[in-house]
Amino acid sequence: MTVSVAAVLADTAARQPNHSAVIYDSEHFTYGWLWEQARRYSSVLRANGVRPGDRVAMLLVDTPQFPVVYFGILAAGAVAIPLNVMSTASEIEHVLTDAAAHFLVCAASLLAKATEAAEPLGTVLLTVGRGPGGTVDLENAAQDTAPIDDLALQEPDDVAVVFYTSGTTGAPKGVMLTHRNILYNVDRMVATPFAFRSDDILLGCLPLSHSFGQICVMLTGFRAGISIVMMPRFSGREALALMTNHRCTVFMGVPTMYLALLDAVQGDQVPQLDRVYSGGSALPVKTLDDVRNAFGCPVYEGYGLTETSCSVAYHYPGLPFRSGTVGVPINGVTVGITRPNAEDIDLLPAGEVGEIVVRGPNVMMGYFDRPAITAEVLIDGWFLTGDLGRLDGDGYLSVVGRKKDLILRGGYNVYPREIEEIFVEHPAVAQVAVIGVPHLVLGEEVWAIVVPARPEDVTSGLGKEIIEWGKQRLAAYKYPRRVEFIDALPIGTSGKVLKRMLVSKYESDASA
């Protein structure tokens, strides 16, 4: 059996070549055009030495050239390594070195830092757009090159893509996803939970270098044959305008994007969406309700990780909605709750909190060149997610928080998300992150870091008022004893709040 993720585009291009795959700057790019360009790029890559199994890094902005290069790499039988365009030269160099990537394709606008990273390593640098003399411009060369005829097919367990994690707990690690991993998830997400129809139009504002944007938006969208409106840089106001102008029916985003949309929405500028999906990190129940009321459509929250080819569980059309949960596991994926820090998988009964573990064909092959770390998280076929949660008797999954974010106060377990859901209901709170800071007697104390709804309302008494709000609604060991106000929470590339940065920022204050 041979397969290739590249077939996602090839199959749809054969089925509906004249249908718009991508809309960018009001220009429509069809499936047929994308696949022909990808095959031309693949031919140029081969001519420049790319062979099956080679690792090719990508430093590209979200434009139609991203899928062209991506599918061109896969069509050549090579491995795609997407890089965040915000990466520094040293971060790019780390990935190139760690992955032993001998090729880097970059946007001409990002050539300076790409060159700084690639030259010391002898990495072959290819551009999209005109670069300096001697640099191969894929876009230009492709127009004078015949497209490949032979799609390089791979074995199901050959690596297709390596995603590098954000590295909030050390140097970024390469997550190896195989063709089987990705295609399994894509083929199941098309119908459930996304329920895509070929006439759907989706706003693509999630970075394609990240698994959520690449797998859930681009690959699943292309498999279904929908149209994707590309948006390289997100802003709430522009997103609303694009969705209105292009009559978008579907939106996918992370919680920070939904907050930006709510801030920007006006009574006369509400796109007629059919449904929206949230992932990346927990969506507060209040925000979910606000989005549903503002846009008049269902909000389906889900849960997943890069290591699980993006998706694990979701709410979806036809499934009874259960507030505070992330729905049920997708078809063919098994979710369990194990006792935290146990040497083996020790599954807990329904209703008990423990570490979320996942088993299925979507679970990664492992971390690139890190067998010891891989062995720590892959045990008896289960992937240990590092997230805490519970399953109810009907199979609905609730995510309590990250295991590393669990606060141990005076011997009691405190789960930050429970407190955050309470505090975000306070009218003066726009966003909140609950953290544990060192305490000499209790071990850790509970603090709330708050982004105020109206900065001008912040007074010496507001913090006390918010603490009292928590005191009235939470057990004595749970409510925060201190509130700090901040202009914006630090957010990682996946949309998660970087709580370790907040702990580092405030732990010196706690010990003072």
> Are the folds of 187-402 and 406-511 the same?
no
Q: Are 70 and 147 contacting, i.e. CB atoms less than 8 angstroms apart? A: no
Beta-sheet pairing, 55-59 with 79-82: parallel
Q: Residue 39: which H helix or E strand, with range?
A: helix 31-47
Domain boundaries defined on the chain: 27-153, 187-402, 406-511
Q: For residue 167, is pLDDT > 60?
A: no
What confidence score (pLDDT) does residue 44 get?
96
- State mean pLDDT over 103-120: 95
Rounded Cα gap, residues 330 and 55, in angstroms: 30
Contact status, residue 446 vs residue 436, Cβ threshold 8 Å: yes
CA 197 to chain centre: 23
At 121-150, the pLDDT tens digits run 999 999 998 766 667 889 999 998 999 988
CATH fit for domain 27-153, picks 3.40.50.300, 3.40.50.410, 3.40.50.980, 3.30.465.10: 3.40.50.980
Residue-averaged pLDDT of the chain: 92
Task: Please name every residue paired with 279 in a beta bridge, in sequence order, or none if there are none.
Answer: none
- What band does 248 get if pLDDT is binned at 50, 70 and 90? very high
Separation of CA 476 from chain center: 35
The sign of the CA dihedral 458, 235, 258, 110 is negative
* Cβ(229)–Cβ(248) below 8 Å: yes
Supply the pLDDT for residue 493: 72
User: How many Cα neighbours within 13 Å face the side chain of 48?
Assistant: 27
The model's pLDDT over 27-46, given as tens digits with 9 standing for 90+, comes to 999 999 999 999 999 999 99
pLDDT band, very low/low/confident/very high, at 3 (cuts 50, 70, 90): confident
The answer to whether the predicted template modeling score (pTM) of the entire model surpasses 0.75 is yes
Q: pLDDT > 70: what percent of the chain? A: 97
Q: How far apart are CA 67 and CA 72, in angstroms?
A: 8
Query: What confidence tens digit (pLDDT) does each residue in 342-359 have?
Result: 788 999 999 999 999 999
pLDDT at 301: 94
Residue 451 pLDDT > 80: yes
For residue range 371-398, list pLDDT tens digits in order: 999 999 999 999 999 999 999 999 999 9
Residue 496: pLDDT band with limits 50, 70, 90? confident
Residue 284, pLDDT above cutoff 90: no
The CATH superfamily holding the domain 187-402 is: ANL, N-terminal domain (3.40.50.12780)
Picking from 300, 311, 10, the residue whose alpha carbon sits closest to that of residue 153 is 10
Residues 207-216 have a mean pLDDT of: 95
**CATH class of the 406-511 domain in this structure:** alpha beta
User: Whole-angstrom Cα distance, residue 34 to residue 6?
Assistant: 12
How far, in Å, CA of 316 to CA of 278, rounded? 11
For 297-428, strand residue ranges (E) read 299-303, 313-314, 328-329, 334-338, 354-359, 366-367, 378-379, 382-391, 397-402, 407-409, 412-414
Q: How far is CA 446 from the centre of its chain?
A: 28
Is 225 a residue whose pLDDT tops 80? Answer: yes
DSSP assignment of 147-195? PPSS---B-TTSEEEEEEP--TTSS--EEEEEHHHHHHHHHHHTTTTS-
